[in-house]
Amino acid sequence: MIATVTLNPSLDEHITVDGLIIDEANRWSKLKRYAGGKGIDVARAIHEMNGITVAYGFIGGSQGRTLEILLDEEGVQYSFTPIQQETRTNFIITDTKTYQQTRIGARGPHISKSELERFYRKLREIRPKPDLLVASGSLPPGVPDDIYYNIADESRKYGIRTVLDSEGVWLEEGIKAKPYLIKPNVYEAEELLKRDIPNKKAVIKAALDLVEMGTQIAIISRGKDGIIAASREEIIEAIPPMVKVRSALGAGDCTIAGLAIKLANNEPLIEACRLGVAMGTAAVLTPGTELCHRADVEKILPQVKVCKLTDS
């Protein structure tokens, strides 16, 4: 079982317009709602591939209840910690004429000390013990910046491997607990290592340096150029086929889901990279915050190029 943690879930409203005109009245042509937040996206993608997963995090108010109903309709299991304030709503506006997307995000509800403690207690009582715990995304107000450190450190005490996917100070604090895997993109890795990463050779060096900082596996995502993964034993590059991009939203979360599915079953890292890139690529074929479809993943999987690299 793969548990996911989403500390700042969202109800995502995807609005489609046929030609957005600024300072004018616009009519939407399509409106779809999705259960959002990076960890929830990971859980939805794992479920799409018939994996076993449970989503954890905070949920509140009528928007939170709508999010739970959407997950129920997909068949995704969850065990949220209820909070007093309302779950945030994010808006994604897609212009079908220009293919441009505008994302308007909310900061999120304030989490009280008692709500945070109930969340910690719920994590300690997860049964059965998950094979992996994926913690990802931004933090709402009231949650300390070092919470990912606490989650990874606590999980290790219970023999649970943690996958961490965040950015900035949250990633910087979290990596101090030596999680099992991290997956920054190039920009996030540059922030973490405090240096430029201008080319493939620099990406390889950065991934190895992140492993030296204590994580067992460091994966740096490079958009259409795929990913580079490093451990103490090997370096792997996985490159996706060229596809027409409809929306890149959720692609990184689908990549994490693919990695988690294979690694939870203790399969080789090279196969985890193959599935991760296939799922991330399948996600860009779908509109808005819609995630990968299993049929697309199965078509793309044999087209992903994977190979082992050296650091020289």
Band of residue 99 on the pLDDT scale cut at 50, 70, 90: confident
- In DSSP terms, which residues pair with 164 in a beta bridge? 135, 182
How confident is the model over 151-183, as pLDDT tens digits?
A: 999 999 889 999 999 999 999 999 999 999 999
Sign of the Cα pseudo-torsion (171, 173, 175, 180, in order)? negative
- Give buried/exposed letters for 140-156 (b at 16+ CB in 10 A, else e): bebbeebbbbbbbbbbe
Share of the chain above pLDDT 70, in %: 100
Give the type of residue at 53.
T
Nearest partner of 17 among 102, 106, 104, 105, judged by Cα: 102
**What residues are annotated to the active site?**
253
Nearest partner of 230 among 272, 280, 173, 191, judged by Cα: 272
Mapped onto helix, strand or coil, the DSSP state of residue 135 is strand
Q: Which two tokens stand for residue 70?
A: 């959407």
- For residues 80-85, average pLDDT: 98
- For residues 96-119, average pLDDT: 93
Cα 137 from Cα 155, distance rounded (Å): 18
Q: At 125, which CATH number? A: 3.40.1190.20
Share of the chain above pLDDT 90, in %: 87
Backbone angles phi, psi at 308, to 5 degrees: -95, 140
Q: Which domain holds residue 201?
A: 2-309
Residue 268, pLDDT score = 97
The yes-or-no verdict on residue 193 having pLDDT over 80 is yes
The yes-or-no verdict on residue 297 having pLDDT over 80 is yes
Residue 311, pLDDT score = 75
The yes-or-no verdict on residue 312 having pLDDT over 90 is no
Cα 150 from Cα 145, distance rounded (Å): 10
Residue 109, pLDDT score = 97
Band of residue 217 on the pLDDT scale cut at 50, 70, 90: very high
Nearest partner of 257 among 282, 275, 245, judged by Cα: 275
The yes-or-no verdict on residue 144 having pLDDT over 90 is yes
- For residues 126-141, average pLDDT: 94
Contact 68, 298 (CB under 8 A): no
Residue 200, pLDDT score = 95
How confident is the model over 8-56, as pLDDT tens digits?
A: 999 999 999 999 988 899 999 989 999 999 999 999 999 999 999 999 9
Cα 206 from Cα 141, distance rounded (Å): 31
Q: Which two tokens stand for residue 68?
A: 């739970």
Mean pLDDT, the chain, integer? 95
Residue 230, pLDDT score = 97
- For residues 74-90, average pLDDT: 97
Mapped onto helix, strand or coil, the DSSP state of residue 195 is coil
Residue 136, pLDDT score = 96
The DSSP string of 263-287 is HHTT--HHHHHHHHHHHHHHHTTSS
Backbone angles phi, psi at 19, to 5 degrees: 100, 90
Cα 287 from Cα 249, distance rounded (Å): 9
How many helices (H) and strands (E) the chain has is answered by 10, 15
What's the domain count of the chain?
Answer: 1
